[in-house]
Amino acid sequence: GVAIYSKHEPSEVVVGMGCDEFDAEGRFVELRFDTPKRKLSIVSAYFPSGSSGPERQEAKFRFLDKMYPHLMALKAGRELILCGDLNIAHQEKDLKNWRSNQKNSGFLPEERTWLDELFGPAGFTDAFREMTQSPDQYTWWSNRGAARAKNVGWRIDYHVVSPGLRERIAAAAVYTEEQFSDHAPLTIDYTGALVDYRD
């Protein structure tokens, strides 16, 4: 499931993206903060994993086919930050063993092409990569083979930012000092108030 905690009361809460198959799995929640000067959406999303077999990989592709136009529609009328586990490592530097994973879910050519489109023609920004191009910075590790201790991981968690907020990205970090799960928190700092509550 997904969740968003906010110090500010949203003007609207949207649960689901209008697709029964995936909305039933609790994969999308959106908070809208609308004022006369700005419309902003914060989305928490959990993309499916296809690692359990071909059936789930096909479901993942269906999810991507639904998500892309939904994000484009949101971006057409508002600023947007999508936060979540996308279950895709975008580039070779985003996972340790990229050569041996090229045929595995999470690093398939079709999945990486989807992100190429999102961070290319669609105009969205990978907030983490806006701040650093350093390799070996991961947000997920397998529970097998002491992967975390050896830092054999994947960067599959993102902040996806619409064009109007790109200049607001100020800092990015993966918090690894404590362990909460097989993921580590990805934190992005943004400059200024994203919503002007004085208007």
**Catalytic positions:** 46, 85
CB atoms within 10 A of CB 146: 10
Q: What are the structure tokens assigned to 94, written together?
A: 């985003």
**Buried b / exposed e along 15-54 (16+ C-beta atoms within 10 A):** eebebeebeeeebbbbbbbeeeeebbbbbbbbbbbbeeee
Q: Which DSSP category does 194 fall into?
A: S
CA triple 69-140-172, angle to 5 deg: 70
Residue carrying structure tokens 């400059």 = 191
Q: Say which residues have a Cβ less than 8 Å from residue 134's Cβ, sequence separation at least 6.
A: 93
Q: Which amino acid is at 43?
A: V
**Buried b / exposed e along 56-83 (16+ C-beta atoms within 10 A):** ebebbbebbebbeebbeebbeebbbbbb
